[in-house]
Amino acid sequence: MNMDELKQSCHELSLPVTEKCNPISRDIDRVNGKQMVQILRKCDAEIFEKKNHDPFHQRLYSSPVIQTMVDVAKRVEMMLRDPEESLIVLSGCGTSGRIAFLLVTSFNEMVKAPKQKQICSYIIAGGDRAMLTSQEAPEDDPALGARMLDKICAGKKHVLFVGISCGMSMYSMQAPFVAGQLDFCLKHLDVFTPVLLGFNPVHMARSEPMQDCSFHFKDVAERMIAEQRHKKAFVLNPVLGAEAISGSSRMKGGSATKIILESILLAGHEAAFRGKRVTPECISAWITASEMVYETTYSHSDELAALIHQAGESLQMKAHVYYIGWQTLGIIGLTDASECVPTFGADFDDIRGFINNGFREMKNKEGDLSFLGPEFVIGHKDFVDTILPSLSQNDVMLFLFTVNDDLHEVTALADQVRRRTSNLHAIAHDLEKFTIPETVCNMFGTVLHITWSFSSEEVNSVVMRQRWELSTKWCLNAISTGAHVLKGKVYMNYMIDLRVTNSKLYRRAINILQRFTGCSKGECERALLRAIYSTDDLSEDMTSADVWKHTDVANRRDQVVPTALVMIQCGCTLAEARHHLDCHPVIRDAEPVWLQ
Ligand code: S6P
């Protein structure tokens, strides 16, 4: 190992698991659709990994993790038994907040029966607009998190608060929003039982101060662990292995969040309303059911590869991918599409989602947000009125539905679309005893049609829907990630051209620069600041400004990280670096310079 390799591997070791480079996907930018599916399949398999290679890392199936899930599920049961005084709050930023919203939607659907009160609520940093667009700045505001929580819980005597942060705020100053909420709960343990859900070991917590804040995250995490001994707080932090695209926690992190919290909420619900005891065995069984969903989904790898290929071709031709989903599969589509903007620097209309009945179907707290702009126009009718008339043959249409959706509506819309394009495909779920008619499936080119073996008697309809959601999430994450990789947006398994819009992404940008240049943190940060402030001569004001100031400026700049990378690698000026990137717009093609 030479000096540069040694430096790189030391740097890699110092990173939290959620930010590491996954060796499985190191060459994802060089493979075809079929191989890509196999890579993603192996990365996702790590969620369910039973062997524990590192004694410091707990896995999803580890006994202490299962036991903590049991303890939290018992709290859910208690809350459901005393609904007037109780509230369950799920909160997070970005994908974590979107998954919180989805979980609350289906859990409240489950407790719709007479005499069952809906006691579950969500918080997403930046409010409901963050469900469809990325609002990264509020992630850095701990006081805002605490205020939103305080407001939503007014008058409640018992609050079970689940703060979701895949990176667990462990990574320098990541996710202060959730840390602020946990700190608030820890100060009011008479009312609140805080739960921290994330996917890094606690010992990796760093003790850097947060903006306008008297505590740092390590302090919050340690207080949580101390209270866990008295069952007054809980930390759930199994390790899932690194993401397929480094740091992209929308993928494994989002899926595992859904699996863990669904298992907890379901076990609590069964205990409260069906007299079933919450045991480690029942929690493990819910996780195993999700593992079965994983196996079944990836067994359709040929169709998945075909869809990745089609979506990739479409993006390469600067055309679009449209997800047309029904009910919660529509929400999965909207979520996946909106995440492409911050993840891959995509335009909002490269991949777009639509849902039947628009915001009426979403049932989000703030209601119809379509007045906010085109990103918030999400109904099927809107699609028909605004997109369909100019749809091109290069645009990919992907319908997302199940046998429980209104199949007349599905076929009517598919018929309308077919008059304009044959590039029409579907992901469709049904049951062995209740299948989608062949005439419906025949309307689509590639159909990822999954017939599930569980019966409707075995699981209730909400549970079935949750499994279809998870399966669809895996498929869409693979399609949108794969399509952007094929478009050349990813280098090895790094999304280098990230938008540096909050402190987490600022730290990630420096890490990427360190990873590819072997230079010190200081040198990399300087190059990053030169690219952000668009200058070769940084002033004292610039170098001493707060991170939020840097990210505020960076938000308005393109190609900040690639520019910094070329400046370091070539020892060149800002203008020379920009010229080089103008000549090599596809990241992979610029590689020779980066590896010099
Ligand atoms: C990640 C996604 C981001 C994160 C958000 C919260 O793929 O683009 O929006 O979800 O930054 O991260 P965390 O680590 O607190 O869950």
CA of 504 to the centre of ligand 1 (A): 9
Average pLDDT score, the chain: 91
CA of 96 to the centre of ligand 1 (A): 6
DSSP label at residue 385: I
* Average pLDDT rounded to a whole number, residues 304-314: 97
Q: Which atom of ligand 1 is nearest to the CA of 502?
A: 11
The pick from 102, 141, 166, 481 for probing ligand 1's pocket by mutation, whose C-beta has the most ligand atoms within 8 angstroms, reads 166
In sequence order, the 6+-apart residues with CB closer than 8 A to the CB of 355 are: 325, 326, 327, 330, 331, 333, 334, 361, 362, 378, 379, 380
Does the structure show a pLDDT above 60 at 595? no
Q: Is the CB of 175 under 6 A from ligand 1?
A: yes
DSSP label at residue 318: T
CA of 411 to the centre of ligand 1 (A): 36
Q: Which atom of ligand 1 is nearest to the CA of 251?
A: 7
Structure tokens that stand for 362 in this block = 């979403």
Q: 14 falls in which pLDDT band (50, 70, 90)?
A: confident
Q: Read off φ and ψ for residue 3, nearest 5 degrees.
A: -60, -40
Does the structure show a pLDDT above 50 at 170? no
H or E, element range at 196: strand 192-197
pTM over 0.95: no
* 341-345, 354-358, 473-477: range with lowest mean pLDDT: 341-345
Residue 317: strand, helix, or coil: coil
* Average pLDDT rounded to a whole number, residues 105-114: 84
* Average pLDDT rounded to a whole number, residues 470-493: 95
In sequence order, the 6+-apart residues with CB closer than 8 A to the CB of 577 are: 531, 563, 564, 566, 567, 570
Structure tokens that stand for 576 in this block = 């020379």
Beta bridge partners of 235: 196
The CA distance from 77 to 319, in Å, is 49
CB atoms near residue 209 (< 10 Å)? 12
pLDDT of residue 593: 61
Q: 390 falls in which pLDDT band (50, 70, 90)?
A: very high
The CA distance from 326 to 205, in Å, is 40
In sequence order, the 6+-apart residues with CB closer than 8 A to the CB of 212 are: 141, 142, 143
Q: Which atom of ligand 1 is nearest to the CA of 167?
A: 14
CA 370 from chain centre, in angstroms, equals 23
Does the structure show a pLDDT above 90 at 360? yes
Return the higher-pLDDT residue of 449 and 50. Answer: 449
Is the ipTM here above 0.95? yes
CA of 248 to the centre of ligand 1 (A): 7
In sequence order, the 6+-apart residues with CB closer than 8 A to the CB of 283 are: 66, 69, 70, 73, 263, 264, 267
- Residue nearest to ligand 1 atom 5, measured at CA: 94
CA of 362 to the centre of ligand 1 (A): 21
pLDDT of residue 271: 95
pLDDT of residue 173: 42
Q: 585 falls in which pLDDT band (50, 70, 90)?
A: low
Q: Is the CB of 167 under 6 A from ligand 1?
A: yes
Q: Which atom of ligand 1 is nearest to the CA of 178?
A: 15
CA of 102 to the centre of ligand 1 (A): 15
Q: Is the CB of 249 under 6 A from ligand 1?
A: yes
The answer to whether residues 250 and 219 touch, using CB atoms and an 8 Å cutoff, is no
In sequence order, the 6+-apart residues with CB closer than 8 A to the CB of 582 are: none
In sequence order, the 6+-apart residues with CB closer than 8 A to the CB of 88 are: 76, 79, 107, 119, 120, 121, 159, 160, 162, 265
- Residue nearest to ligand 1 atom 11, measured at CA: 94
Does the structure show a pLDDT above 90 at 139? no
Return the higher-pLDDT residue of 176 and 127. Answer: 127
Q: Is the CB of 181 under 6 A from ligand 1?
A: no
Strands (E) in 276-411, as ranges, are: 321-325, 351-355, 396-402
pLDDT of residue 172: 42
* 99-113, 192-206, 303-317, 470-484: range with lowest mean pLDDT: 192-206
- Sheet hosting strand 86-92, strand order edge to edge: 120-124, 86-92, 158-164, 192-197, 234-236
Q: 488 falls in which pLDDT band (50, 70, 90)?
A: confident
- Residue nearest to ligand 1 atom 15, measured at CA: 165
The answer to whether residues 259 and 61 touch, using CB atoms and an 8 Å cutoff, is no
Does the structure show a pLDDT above 90 at 392? yes
- Residue nearest to ligand 1 atom 3, measured at CA: 94
- Report how far apart the first and last C-alpha atoms of the chain are (Å, whole number): 18
Does the structure show a pLDDT above 90 at 73? yes
pLDDT of residue 536: 96
Q: 256 falls in which pLDDT band (50, 70, 90)?
A: very high
CA of 46 to the centre of ligand 1 (A): 19
pLDDT in tens, 405-450: 999 999 999 999 999 999 999 999 999 989 999 999 999 999 999 9
CA angle (464, 465, 466) in 5-degree steps = 90
Q: Which atom of ligand 1 is nearest to the CA of 174?
A: 15
Q: Is the CB of 201 under 6 A from ligand 1?
A: no
CA of 594 to the centre of ligand 1 (A): 27
- Residue 240's closest CA among 254, 226, 225? 254
pLDDT of residue 388: 97
Q: What is the DSSP code string of 400-469? A: EEETTS-HHHHHHHHHHHHTT-S-EEEEEEEETTBPPPHHHHTTSSSEEEEEE---TTTS-HHHHHHHHH
Does the structure show a pLDDT above 80 at 217? no
